[in-house]
Amino acid sequence: MDITIVDCLIENLTAYNSCIKKGFGWLPPPAAATSRPVTTHFEPFRAIGYITSSVPFSVQRLGTETFVTVSFGKSWQIYNCAKRSLVLVGPQITKKIRALASYRDYTFAAYGNEIGVFKRAHQVATWTKHNAKVNLLLLFGDHILSVDVEGNIFIWAFKGADENPSPIGHI
């Protein structure tokens, strides 16, 4: 039998009234005392979608661990999917993030007509060849394709991103 939000509210209200009648402060009922199976779907740390923006997230696998990079306004966060825990928070940047990509220790964040390249939480480069807002970042091996709202595509090599901030191609 599935538990609905209404069932949880009714169950907690019953426990609240029982505690108040006995003179105790309100405590939620212990898991063993409930007659229904306990669900963890509504626990706050599992609701990553409530704190992120509409920017598509980036998923990557490092060894046996899977990580998701999400945007929230002018910064980004990396979560460990198995543990559902926050691993890293990126720095605040000047504009709202419009696109994300990640590869190993690198995170790429498009904001305005620029692309910030971050190694862990430190910005190592800024790519600035677009004349319009960058809408999409696509990862292809050791290259990033960036697409702006006017349809321009730039190809960036991020091996040695700190030395060469210019694209290797344009379509």
In whole angstroms, give the CA distance from residue 64 to residue 1. 34
What letters, b where the CB count within 10 A reaches 16 and e where it falls short, cover 82-99?
Answer: eeeeeebebeebeeebbb
In whole angstroms, give the CA distance from residue 55 to residue 72. 8
Q: Please give the residue that has the higher pLDDT: either 87 or 16.
A: 87
Model pLDDT, residue 15: 46
In whole angstroms, give the CA distance from residue 72 to residue 54. 8
Give mean pLDDT, residues 141-154. Answer: 92
pTM, two decimal places:
0.68
Report the Cα 33 to chain-centroid distance in Å. 36
Select from 2.130.10.10, 3.50.50.60, 1.10.1060.10, 1.10.10.10 the CATH code of 51-170: 2.130.10.10
How confident is residue 66, by pLDDT bands cut at 50, 70 and 90?
A: very high
Give mean pLDDT, residues 39-58. Answer: 62
Residue 156 backbone dihedrals phi, psi, to 5 degrees: -120, 135
Q: Evaluate if residue 19 carries a pLDDT over 80.
A: no
**For 75-127, how does the pLDDT look when each residue is reduced to its tens digit (9 = 90+)?**
999 988 888 888 999 999 999 999 999 998 899 999 999 999 999 889 998 99
**For 154-168, how does the pLDDT look when each residue is reduced to its tens digit (9 = 90+)?**
998 877 555 556 676
Q: Evaluate if residue 53 carries a pLDDT over 80.
A: no
